[in-house]
């Protein structure tokens, strides 16, 4: 494996990480902003109120998106295995 192939694999891996992480982080961001807005409107300043809904929303997003994550990871592994077999 030469330097260009290694750079290509690394680029693909970084893009895969971004593709998998972005939806989950966006769910956390949206829920966090919604809870912060609710806290600002009701003047309830409880610090722990943000964490439980965010954790539940992130776990739900991971659970819902897990099949697509598996497809992305399987395709990436197939590409890596083909490169290993191809030499």
Q: Report how many domains make up the chain.
A: 1
What letter would DSSP give residue 50? T
- Whole domain around residue 20: which residue ranges? 3-86
Reading the chain (87 residues) residue by residue, the pLDDT tens digits are: 789 989 999 999 999 999 999 999 999 999 999 998 988 888 887 777 888 999 999 999 999 999 999 999 999 999 999 988 986
pTM above 0.85, yes or no: no
CA distances from residue 59 to 17, 38, 47, 62, 69 in whole angstroms, order as listed: 17, 21, 20, 5, 14
Average pLDDT for the chain? 92
CA dist., res. 43 & res. 16, Å (int)? 40
């Amino acid at each position: 494996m030469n330097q260009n192939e290694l750079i290509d694999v690394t680029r693909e891996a970084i893009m895969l990480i971004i593709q998998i992480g972005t939806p989950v982080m966006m769910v956390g961001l949206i829920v966090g902003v919604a809870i912060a807005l609710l806290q600002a409107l009701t003047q309830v300043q409880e610090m722990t109120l943000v964490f439980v809904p965010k954790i539940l929303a992130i776990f739900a997003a991971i659970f819902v998106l897990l099949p697509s994550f598996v497809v992305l990871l399987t395709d990436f592994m197939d590409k890596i295995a083909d490169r290993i077999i191809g030499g």
